[in-house]
Chain A
Amino acid sequence: MEDAKKLEEFQAKIDADIKIEPKDWMPEKYRQNLVRQISQHAHSEIIGMQPEGNWLTRAPSLRSKKILMAKIQDEAGHGLYLYCAAETLGVSREQFLKWLHEGAAKYSSVFNYPTLTWADIGAIGWLVDGAAIVNQVSLQGTSYGPYSRAMVKICKEESFHQRQGYEIIADLSKGTEEQKQMAQDALNRWWWPSIMMFGPHDGDSAHSNQSLKWKIKRESNDELRQRYVDKTIHQGEILGLTFPDENLKLNEQTGHYDISPIDWDEFWNVVKGNGPGNRIRLAHHIKAHDDGAWVREAAIAYRNKMNAKSKIA
């Protein structure tokens, strides 16, 4: 049983927007919730390197190759910040990876969709990163100090990613007929997965209420999703692209865009592991980890040897 007085003090700190730091007392459920959310976020950054890496060796210009390489490197860096933030909650990186490999930890389902053309690299930046930013900007105000600070750093780089993706789509939209089609096709395939990134509707979200009360999350899934839709429609329309939703229209009363019902069957099916890329993404990560085992062992053995030497000296 949690000490009721401690819990009350904890909630008072949260209500006063005082950040919770690693050594502060926190309810076990708060800790577990953060471990789940931050590691899921870290895994998403790392698994997200794969669909983009899929086109790195085929990037069609030196400039686009350089930018994509730098972007993927940023994702690795974000993963690193986030694993470090999650480690402050008393779980090791090795353990996080074990949970990922066993299927006990999730990552964003959107990365289970394949990148089929160069335009998909644009769509990931514009739509997937665009959706991620909406969530991450909001998370800068999260109550756990290390997570909040990681988000501040990450947001600075993500806005560059979103621009990079939009630039690719914009260039394609102004290009040859085939390039325009490529851009439209990418929008058709990535629009709904990007919308689903915000997770289930507020009423159906398992962790939402408690997370909002503890300010782990600052805004609800549906609020964030609406913000993403509202800002993205205009960006697509000025490029002459059409969103794959016949019911999409500006609601004069609310001032927001209405969209068709979301296909939650598809969402849950992909979450449960049946997306086009779930097996491939995980298998790739496991193989890289296994292939690298001898390198990590060598690095540890060498460090131990050096430590032993310096003790003798």
Chain B
Amino acid sequence: MNTNLYTYCLRLADNGLILSHRIAEYCSAGPQLEEDLAITNVGLDLLGQAESFLKYAAEIKGGGITEDDLAYKRKEKDFLCVHLTEIPNFDYAYIMARQFLMDAFNFYLYSKLVNSKDDIIAGISAKAIKEVTYHLSRSSDWIVRLGQGTQESHQRIQTAFDELWMFTDELFESDEIEKSLEKEGIGVDSSTLKKDWQMKINEVFSLAGINVPKIEKHSLQYGKFGLHTEYLGYLLAEMQHIPLLYPDAKW
């Protein structure tokens, strides 16, 4: 088994899987009906991307395991999503701030991955880039709208970014797996995405009148290496509940 590629696919998959789950939790709770529709669209795209990468990971792993086994029967420590995707839906400002930070990351990531020498990754990414381009445009609009809207909305979105900023470091944390896959032309070394990402963030924050939070060094262990926030365990307990309760059943 190509362990590096397997791990890399899980990282890509789990970000989408967990973030789309947070969006699923928000179902029927949007500020207006149009927003319920739009955010579900984003959730569906992310879930679809996750499914594709999990399918590929299952193929690489072999032995008859399926994408559902990987989603529903993996232990928490084997999930490789970044912490940012695990953050609960504290309010709409957190939801949009989390989304915008991830959308910008996904946009630059898939812009590169479309050129992957691995046909499957390139194929999934070609579809994903169309989706995340829309996601980024939508969340950017909302950040500006909230930043420039009322005093309350400005305060709320600024607070959300201040609180979430500590989790952005992880997005650009690279390791030997990513470096070697980048060398092979298959994957992307996350640290190379930071410059473009930061420029995009600065551009939208400037339009929104939002301050870029002060950079502080946090002593975080990272989700992409299997060490998570306390939030993830509860999310998985709910998500995996049926397949674990009825191990012999097919759904």
Contact = CB atoms under 8 A, between A and B. Distances in A.
Nearest to B148: A302
Interface string B86-110: 0000011000000000000000000
A79 B33 contact: yes
Given A118-B251, A175-B249, A175-B250, A295 B33 contact: no
Interface residues of B, number: 48
Interface stretch (A2-10, A134-142, A247-255, A286-294): A286-294
A301 B150 contact: yes
A298 B145 contact: yes
Contacts of A53: 24, 27-28
Contacts of A299: 145, 149
Contacts of B238: 57-58
B67 interface: yes
A44 B4 CA distance: 49
Interface stretch (A22-30, A70-78, A125-133): A70-78
Interface string B70-96: 011000000000000000000110000
B31 A80 contact: no
Contacts of B44: 66, 69-70, 73
A260 interface: no
A79 B37 CA distance: 10
A305 interface: yes
Contacts, number: 135
Given A53-B28, A288-B30, A298 B47 contact: no
A284 B29 CA distance: 8
B106 to A, nearest CB: 18
Interface of A, helix, strand, loop or mixed by DSSP:
helix
Interface string A270-282: 0000000000000
A292 B251 contact: no
B149 A65 contact: no
Given A46-B33, A62-B71, A178-B249, A291 B145 contact: no
Given A69-B44, A72-B28, A79-B33, A62 B149 contact: no
Chain A CB within 10 Å — which of B28, B44, B150 has the most?
B28
B145 to A, nearest CB: 5
A298 B36 CA distance: 17
A87 interface: no
B27 A80 contact: no
B158 to A, nearest CB: 13
Interface of A: 46, 49-50, 53, 56-58, 60-66, 69-70, 72-73, 76-77, 79-80, 83, 118, 171, 175-176, 178-179, 284-285, 287-288, 291-299, 301-302, 305
Interface of B: 21, 24-25, 27-37, 40-41, 43-44, 47-48, 50-51, 54, 67-68, 71-72, 91-92, 144-146, 148-150, 152-153, 156, 238-239, 241-243, 246, 248-251
11 contacts: A53-B27, A57-B25, A58-B242, A60-B251, A62-B51, A63-B51, A70-B44, A176-B248, A287-B29, A292-B32, A297-B150
**Which 10 A/B pairs are nearest by Cβ-Cβ distance?**
A292-B31, A298-B149, A298-B153, A295-B31, A60-B251, A53-B27, A60-B242, A49-B28, A73-B40, A288-B29
Given A56-B25, A61-B243, A297-B153, 18 more contacts: A49-B27, A49-B28, A56-B27, A57-B239, A60-B243, A65-B47, A69-B43, A69-B44, A76-B33, A77-B37, A118-B251, A178-B246, A179-B249, A291-B29, A294-B156, A295-B153, A297-B149, A298-B152
